[in-house]
Chains A and B, each alone.
Chain A
C-alpha cells in the first residue's frame, strides 16, 4: 500500500486530495494507494468571503462548508490535529490517536496563522477582516462609524491575499460615499516599504486611484505599537498617526509543526520553487501559504500548486519519474470599489499588468466566489 498523507483542509489540501482521488482512482479502488486528508477543522473555509463581511455583502456562514461535503469519497478523511512530523521515520503523530501514521509521500498544506499579538496593542486597538470574528466586529464598527480617521495599515508582510488591503481601502471609500459619509471620514493607507504594494505595477495603479479618491498614503510605515487608549499608532521609523478606526492586516506566521520538524523557519516550508519538494528532507511537499515560494500567499497559488503536486505524487505512486513543475502562476481579482474590479495574472519573475477596472469583472469576481466550491471539489 502506497500511503499519501495531506495535512490541512484549506484550498490547497482540499483541491489536492480531490485531484489525487480522481488521478489515482483505479489504484485506490484496487487497494494499492491510500489518499488521506488530515485536518483539525471539520469545516472548510473560503477566506476571501471575509472581505465582504464588513460591508454586509456576505456572512461568515457563507464562507464555510463541512469538508466532508467537499471531499471525494475515495479520500480517507481524518479530523484530527497533527502534533508531530517525523521525517526520519516517515510518520505523523496525531492528537487523538495513540499510534502514529506512516506515509510514503507527505504534503503539508498547513496554511498561515494570524498573529496580532506580535505587535503590542494591536489585538486591543485594531480591527481586521482576515477571520470570522474580526470581520464581524469590523462590520459592526463600520455600521456605526460616521466620522473621523480610518487607517488601513499593512502591519505584516507576507500575508494572505496581498490584494486585499488595496481592495478594502477602495471598497470602504466607495461604501462610505454611497452612504454620504465620505466627506466626514479621512482615510489613510499605510504600507511597510517605499511604495503602496510589494508588486510595483499594483503599487502604481493603487497610488493613482488613492490620489483620485483623496486617500492618503504613508509608506515606510512599520507599525511598532498601538496605544488603544490614546488611539495612536507608532512606527519603527518614528512616525505617529492618530486614528479613530484602525484596520490592520495583522502579522502572519506559519505552522509550529513545520518549524518543529526542521522544515523551515517561521513555519514556512523551504521548498524547491518549481517541484515544491521540501529542501530539508525527501518525500515531503508543501503547497499553499505553507510553501515558502517567491509569489503571493493567494488561493490561486494553492490551487495551481495542488495540480502540480497531484501530478508529481501520482507519478511517484506509479513508480514513474515526476515531470510536472510549478511556474509561479498566480491569478488575483482586485475589487476597485463596490461595483467594479480588475484582475492580474503573473508567473515567477513577471510584473503583472493591471487592466482597467470594469463592472463585468466585478460580477465575474462574485461569480467566482460562488463557483469556488467547485474549485474545492477539484472540478474547476
Chain B
C-alpha cells in the first residue's frame, strides 16, 4: 500500500489518445510554480512510459503511478 500524493492540480486527460495526455501535461506544467504537485489522469497506456521519460528529460520529479479501475493517475512534482 502506497501513500497517494495530495495533488495541487489535476489534469483530466482520460480518453485522449497519444500524445494527448503528455501534451496536456507539458502545456500545463509550463504555467505552474516549482513544487506544485500534479495528478495526470490518463486512459492511454503509453502515457505510463512516455510521461516518466519526459519528466526525466525536462527535470521534473515522478512521484507515483497508480492504476485505478479505468485509468491511471500519474503524480509528479514540478521543479
Q: Does A9 have its Cβ within 8 Å of any Cβ on chain B?
A: no
A193 and B19: CB pair below 8 A?
Answer: yes
Instruction: With a 10 A CB-CB cut-off, give which of A236, A237, A273 has the most chain B CB atoms.
Output: A236
A251 to chain B, nearest CB (A): 9
Of chain A, the residue at the smallest CB distance from B46 is A200
B53 and A194: CB pair below 8 A?
Answer: yes
A193-B50, A194-B50, A222-B26 known; A237+B57 contact, CB < 8 A:
yes
B59 to chain A, nearest CB (A): 7
B17 and A295: CB pair below 8 A?
Answer: yes
A198 and B30: CB pair below 8 A?
Answer: no
Chain B contact surface mostly: helix
Measured between beta carbons, the chain B residues less than 8 angstroms from A194 are 50, 53-54, 57
State the total of A-B contacts with C-beta under 8 angstroms: 44
B19 and A157: CB pair below 8 A?
Answer: yes
B18 to chain A, nearest CB (A): 6
Measured between beta carbons, the chain B residues less than 8 angstroms from A237 are 57-59
Measured between beta carbons, the chain B residues less than 8 angstroms from A157 are 19-20, 23
Q: Does A220 have its Cβ within 8 Å of any Cβ on chain B?
A: yes
Q: Does B66 have its Cβ within 8 Å of any Cβ on chain A?
A: no
Measured between beta carbons, the chain A residues less than 8 angstroms from B58 are 220, 222, 236-238
Of chain B, the residue at the smallest CB distance from A273 is B15
A197 to chain B, nearest CB (A): 9
Q: Does B63 have its Cβ within 8 Å of any Cβ on chain A?
A: no
Q: Give complex CA distance A237, B20 in Å.
A: 18
Q: Does B16 have its Cβ within 8 Å of any Cβ on chain A?
A: yes
Chain A contact surface mostly: loop
Of chain A, the residue at the smallest CB distance from B53 is A194
Q: Give complex CA distance A137, B17 in Å.
A: 34
Q: Give complex CA distance A283, B16 in Å.
A: 24
Of chain A, the residue at the smallest CB distance from B17 is A294
Q: Does B22 have its Cβ within 8 Å of any Cβ on chain A?
A: yes
Measured between beta carbons, the chain A residues less than 8 angstroms from B26 are 192, 222, 236
Measured between beta carbons, the chain A residues less than 8 angstroms from B54 are 193-194, 220
Q: Give complex CA distance A193, B22 in Å.
A: 8
Query: Is the interface on chain B under 10, 10 to 19, 20 to 34, or 35 or more residues?
Result: 10 to 19
A236-B30, A236-B58, A238-B59 known; A220+B53 contact, CB < 8 A:
yes
B76 to chain A, nearest CB (A): 14
Measured between beta carbons, the chain B residues less than 8 angstroms from A238 are 58-59
Q: Give complex CA distance A224, B58 in Å.
A: 12
Q: Per-residue CB proximity of A164-204 to B under 8 Å, as 1/0? A: 00000000000000000000000000001110001000000
Measured between beta carbons, the chain A residues less than 8 angstroms from B30 are 224, 236
Q: Give complex CA distance A294, B18 in Å.
A: 8
In the complex, chain A residues 336-359 whose Cβ is within 8 Å of any chain B Cβ: none
Measured between beta carbons, the chain A residues less than 8 angstroms from B59 are 237-238
Q: Give complex CA distance A193, B53 in Å.
A: 9
Q: Per-residue CB proximity of B1-39 to A under 8 Å, as 1/0? A: 000000000000001111110110010011000000000
Q: Give complex CA distance A220, B50 in Å.
A: 10
A294 and B19: CB pair below 8 A?
Answer: no
Of chain A, the residue at the smallest CB distance from B43 is A294
Show 27 residue pairs from A and B whose CB-CB distance is below 8 angstroms, ordered by the A residue.
A157-B19, A157-B23, A158-B20, A192-B19, A193-B19, A193-B23, A193-B54, A194-B50, A194-B53, A194-B54, A198-B17, A198-B18, A198-B19, A220-B53, A222-B26, A222-B58, A236-B29, A236-B30, A237-B57, A237-B58, A238-B58, A238-B59, A273-B15, A294-B16, A294-B17, A294-B20, A295-B17
Given contacts A198-B19, A238-B58, A294-B17, 20 further A-B contacts (CB under 8 A): A157-B19, A157-B20, A157-B23, A192-B19, A192-B22, A193-B18, A193-B22, A193-B23, A193-B50, A193-B54, A194-B50, A198-B17, A220-B57, A222-B26, A222-B58, A236-B30, A236-B58, A237-B57, A237-B58, A294-B16
